[in-house]
Copies of this chain bind each other. A is one copy, B any other.
Amino acid sequence: MILALAGGVGGAKLANGLAHLLPPGELTIIVNTGDDFEHLGLHIAPDLDSVCYALAGRNDVARGWGLAGESWAFMDALKGLGGADWFNLGDRDLATHMLRTEGLKTQSLSAVTAHLANAMGIVHKVAPMSDQPVRSIVATDIGELPFQHYFVRHQGQPAFRGIRFEGMESARPSPAFIAALDDPSLRAIILCPSNPWLSIAPILAVPGVRERIAARTVPLVAASPFLGGQAVKGPAAKIMREIGLTPDAQGLIHHYGDLLDGLVVQTGEGAPSAEMPILETNILIPDVDSQTRLAAEVVAFAERLRHG
C-alpha cells in the first residue's frame, strides 16, 4: 500500500500517475484542506477538486486548473449583478461545490469526498487530511491573509513570511489518513510535487501526523516541484527565496530535514554534497503517460530504499 500526500494541481499529476500505476486498494491519496474556504455560501475545497478532477480525467490540462470543457455563464451573470468576482467558479465546477456544501450539512468531509469521487468514477481512495475545518493563514509583507486571498485575490504576489493553520489544534487526521499510516501493508509514503509550505505543510501539521510519520518503518520520499530554479507551477520557488532557501534539491533537503528518506529531482539537478539518496529523472509530467512513468520510478526508488 502506498500513501501519497498531495496538494493542488502539481501534486494531482503524480497522484494521477500513482492511480494509473496501482490497483484500487493499494493507494491512499490524502489531500490538503488548508486552502478550503467558504465563498458565496459554498464550501470550496480546491485541492480535493484538483486531485479528483485529475483522477477522473476531467481536469483542464491547457488552463491548468478546473474542469475541461468548462463554461463561465454563472461568473458572467454574477459580475453583472455586482457579486464577488475575484474567485472564478465554472458552471460545471459549481455542481461539485454545491453538492459538497449540501452533503456537509449531514456528513463528514471524508464521506462527502468519497461520494463525489465515486460519482466521478474514481476507484482509488481519496480523502481529506482532516474532517475538521483547518484554514491556512499566510503571513506576508502586507499582513496576514486568508489563503485564497493570498493565492488568488493577490495572486501570490505579497512576500511570504510564514503560514499558520487556524483550527489545527482541534483537528484530527481523517479516518483514511490514520488507516493508511497504521496499515501494516504500507510500503512507502510519497510527498507529491506540491508546494512544501502551502500544500504539504498543512498535512504534516495535523496533530499526531508528524509523530506517526517519525515512527514509520517505511521510506518517505518527496518529489520535487522545482525545475531549473523555478516551480513547474505556482509560487513555490518565489516562497523558497523569500524564506531564504534555494528552490532546488538543497533547499528541499534543508526544509524537510530528517523527515525525508529520499528525494526525486530533475535530471542533472541533484545535490552532490548531500547524504540524501536522490533519484534524478524527468519530473515534467504533463500527461498521463509521463505521470505513470514518474509514479513507477518513484515507487521503485522507495522500494530500493526500503530494502537497502
Please give the residue numbers on chain A whose beta carbons come within 8 Å of chain B beta carbons, in ascending order: 40-41, 67, 70-71, 73-74, 76-78, 80-83, 90-96, 98-99, 101-102, 105, 116, 119-120
Contact = CB atoms under 8 A, between A and B. Distances in A.
A119 B80 contact: yes
Given A41-B102, A74-B94, 11 more contacts: A40-B99, A70-B73, A71-B71, A73-B73, A73-B90, A73-B92, A78-B95, A80-B95, A81-B120, A82-B119, A94-B94
Nearest to A96: B81
A77 B102 contact: no
A58 to B, nearest CB: 10
A74 B101 contact: no
A80 to B, nearest CB: 7
B119 A95 contact: no
Given A40-B98, A41-B101, A91-B91, A119 B73 contact: no
Contact of A98 (B71, B78, B93, B96): B78
Contacts of A80: 95, 119
A81 B41 contact: no
Contact of A92 (B70, B76, B120): B76
B73 A99 contact: no
